[in-house]
């Protein structure tokens, strides 16, 4: 029998899910595929991620129905709101608030990875064929908020997904479309290249300059 998930890992996953999906529904498969948090070891395997999610369902922090999960108790709500939605939330609420504060402190100290092209600096933003415009806009906002100076972003993806990433970039370069994503800027294409030493592990880089 598999051991029960560690409650600290469950809280970390809960906050990761909130950052990634907000109040939107998601599946275990989507969670694992879309994860950009390489430190979240419980996201490496579908079965392990499901065990953590199911424990969050038991705590009533997350709801589950027909293969879909969604956040039930929001981390920004106060304890009284949680009491209306779940039983005996005090202990888990305290853990969530402590973990959230720790994440905020760490995010203020951590700087996103950047690449230089020409004399400009571009913040690294991962993407793949499962990423849509709103997904990417959310990651862009998070990454660029952590960087005090940048000229744009570099969208990084597997090299065999160039066509899709180019289409996605077209949306990022559409001022009206980006207005819907609540970003204060849109982008213009600068350049692109392929990086990697082995043909089976190549990465596509698309450099986009931000335009206010």
More confidently predicted of 198 and 68: 68
More confidently predicted of 157 and 42: 157
Backbone angles phi, psi at 72, to 5 degrees: -100, -45
Residue 38 has pLDDT above 50, yes or no: no
Give pLDDT tens digits for 179-203: 777 677 889 999 999 998 887 789 9
Burial readout 124-140 (b: 16 or more C-beta within 10 A, e: otherwise): bbbbeeebebebbbbbb
Half-sphere exposure of 183 (CA within 13 A, CB side): 29
Backbone angles phi, psi at 97, to 5 degrees: -65, -40
H-helix or E-strand containing 209?
A: strand 203-211
pTM of this prediction?
0.52
> What domains, with CATH codes, occur in the chain?
7-107 (1.10.10), 114-211 (3.30.110)
Closest by CA position to 14, among listed 74, 104, 85? 74
Give pLDDT tens digits for 107-132: 655 667 889 998 999 988 888 888 88
């Amino acid at each position: 029998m598999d051991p029960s998930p560690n409650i600290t890992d469950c809280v970390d996953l809960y906050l990761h899910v909130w950052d990634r999906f907000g109040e939107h529904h998601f599946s275990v498969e989507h969670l694992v595929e879309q994860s950009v948090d390489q430190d979240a070891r419980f996201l490496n395997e579908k079965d392990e991620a499901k065990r953590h999610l199911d424990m969050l369902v038991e705590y009533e922090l997350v709801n589950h129905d027909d293969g879909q999960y969604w956040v039930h108790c929001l981390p920004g709500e106060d304890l009284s709101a949680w009491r209306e939605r779940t039983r005996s939330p005090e202990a888990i609420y305290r853990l969530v608030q402590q973990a959230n504060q720790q994440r905020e402190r760490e995010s203020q100290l951590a700087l996103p990875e950047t690449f230089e092209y020409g004399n400009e600096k571009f913040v690294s933003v991962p993407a793949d064929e499962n990423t849509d415009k709103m997904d990417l806009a959310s990651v862009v906002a998070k990454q660029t908020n952590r960087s005090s100076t940048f000229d744009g972003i570099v969208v990084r993806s597997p090299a065999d997904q160039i066509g899709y990433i180019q289409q996605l970039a077209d949306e990022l370069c559409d001022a009206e479309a980006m207005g819907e994503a609540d970003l204060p800027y849109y982008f213009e294409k600068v350049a692109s290249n392929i990086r990697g030493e082995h043909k089976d592990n190549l990465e596509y880089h698309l450099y986009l300059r931000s335009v206010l």
